[in-house]
Homo-oligomer: A and B are copies of this chain.
Amino acid sequence: MSDTIKYTLDEEHLPRAWYNIVADLPQKPPAVLHPGTIQPVTPGDLSPLFPMAVIEQEVSTERYIDIPEPVRDILRQWRPAPLYRARRLEKMLDTPAKIYYKYEGVSPSGSHKPNTAVAQAFYSAEEGVKRITTETGAGQWGSSLAFAGSFFGIEIEVFMVKVSYQQKPYRRAFMQSFDANCIASPSDMTESGKAILKDNPDNTGSLGIAISEAVERAVQRDDTKYALGSVLNHVMLHQTVIGIEAMQQMEMADDYPDIVIGCTGGGSNFAGITFPFIGEKLRGGRDVKVIAVEPANCPTLTKGRYAYDYGDVASLTPLVKMHTLGSSFIPPGFHAGGLRYHGMSPLVSQVTELGHVAPRAYPQLACFEAGIQFAKAEGIVPAPEANHAVRAALDEALRCKAEGKSETILFNLSGHGNYDMQAYTDYFAGKLYDQEYDESELAMALSGLPSAVGM
C-alpha cells in the first residue's frame, strides 16, 4: 500500500465549460485602462490585439463559459490529465499528510500552457486570423502556441527573451518542428526592440521587452493578432480545466484538499488549479487554504504593490491593476524563466487582496532540492517553475508531521523538466546560487509606477 495511486478521469469528464471566478467575486475587477487615454478600454480598443471572442471572455461575468468542441477535441489528446496520490513521497517524508498532485506535464509541450494556446488559436482561426505574435521566456508558452497554431494553420511568430534564446536552443528546435518563427528579443524587427538595442546592444531581454515587440508586430498588421500566455482573465479562465478536473478526481479519491498550492509567474497554472476551489469557498462551500509560491528574487505578490501598471517595458499594453514590481524591474537571472515577470494576473491579485491566497516566496536552491526529492519518490523530474510548488507542498507536509496533523495537500505539478536539464546540471555541479534582487532597484521600479508618478 505504499505506491502512488493514479486517478484517471474518463474522457466524458473532460470539462465542457470553463469556470469564471469573476462571477463569484464580491466586486467586479477594476477597469483595464487604455495606455494612451488612461480611460477604461473598450472592446474596440483591444480588437487590434485579440479576437473578439477572447475580448468578450476577458470582460465576461458569466460563471461558466462553454469550451468549443474543436478545442475539447484537441485537449482530449492528453486530458483529462492524471491526478496522483504521492504515497511514495509521503512515506519518504514520513508525514501523516496526504499529498496529491495534478500533473500537467503530460501535454505534448510538457506543461499546462497548451490549455489556453489551443483555445486562443481556435478563436483566432474562427475570425480568419493568419498570424499570431507572442513572447516567450522559458519557452513553454512559445512551444505551446507553436503546437496549437499548427493544428489551425496559423503562422506563429515568437519573440523569445534573448538569454533564453541562447540558453535553450532545444525549445527553439521544438517550436521550429511546428514551423513557428522564433526571434531573439530585443530584435531589430520592431521600434521598441531597436530603441533598446540602441541603448544597449548587449541587452539580454526580458518578458516585458518581448511583449512590447510582439504587441507592436501584431498592431502593425491587419491579419495578425497577439496572444499572451498568462496574466489576462481569459487565460486564467482557460486554465480552470485543471482545477475542474482535480475536483472530480479528489471526489474519486473520496477526499477534499485542506490546502491547494500552485507556483506563480503570471498566475495561470495557479489560477487553473485554485480558482475552482476558491470559487467553491466564495459560494459558501468548503473552506480551503490556498498558497501561491513565487521565486524570492521576483517576489511579485509578497513584495510588489497592488497598483495600475503596464504589462510591458515600452508601455504599449493596457494598464491593469495588479501586484507588480514595476514594469522596469529586471529580476536577477535564475532557472525558472516562467516565473520571471514583474506583474501578476489581475484576478489572482484581486483574490489575494481579498485574503483568499497566502503568498510565499522561496529561493531557487531550496526549490531544486525539493524537486530532486520529489523525483526520487515519484519518478518525475519537475520543471524549475513547478519545483516552487513542490517545495511548498513538502514544507506543508513536514509541518503536518511536526504538528501530527493529517491534512490533505493538493498541488499543481505544472510541467516536466525535460527541457530544463541544464539547470539541474548546474545544480548538481554546485553552480547555482541564491542571488538576491537589488532592493534599491526594486524601490526605483516601484517609484516609477504610473500611480506613483501621478497617473
Contacts and interface: CB of A to CB of B under 8 A. Distances in A.
Contacts of A74: 3-4, 379
A402 to B, nearest CB: 26
Contact of A379 (B6, B77, B173, B381): B77
Interface string A1-12: 001101010110
A421 B174 contact: yes
Contacts of A77: 4, 6, 84, 379
B375 A178 contact: yes
B70 A3 contact: yes
Contacts of A225: none
Contact of A11 (B6, B88, B173): B6
Contact of A421 (B70, B169, B178, B425): B169
Contacts of A310: none
Contacts of A379: 74, 77, 108, 147, 150-151
A372 B84 contact: no
B424 A176 contact: yes
B174 A376 contact: no
A106 interface: yes
Number of copies of this chain in the oligomer? 2
A88 B108 CA distance: 15
A411 to B, nearest CB: 17
B380 A108 contact: yes
Contacts of A108: 379-381
User: For the side of the interface on A, what is the size category?
Assistant: 35 or more
Nearest to A374: B177
A375 B173 CA distance: 12
A177 B372 contact: yes
A372 B173 CA distance: 11
Contacts of A202: none
A380 B151 CA distance: 12
B8 A8 contact: yes
A421 to B, nearest CB: 3
A144 B449 CA distance: 50
A236 B391 CA distance: 39
B376 A177 contact: yes
Given A178-B376, A179-B376, A418-B418, A8 B6 contact: no
Contacts of A110: 418
Nearest to A423: B173
Interface string A50-84: 00000000000000000000100110110000001
24 contacts: A3-B74, A4-B74, A4-B76, A8-B8, A8-B11, A88-B151, A147-B379, A150-B375, A150-B379, A151-B379, A169-B421, A169-B422, A170-B418, A170-B425, A173-B421, A173-B422, A173-B428, A174-B381, A174-B418, A177-B376, A178-B375, A178-B376, A418-B419, A419-B421
Given A176-B428, A419-B421, 19 more contacts: A4-B73, A4-B77, A6-B11, A6-B76, A6-B77, A8-B8, A8-B10, A8-B11, A77-B84, A88-B151, A108-B380, A110-B418, A147-B379, A150-B375, A170-B418, A171-B421, A173-B425, A177-B381, A179-B376
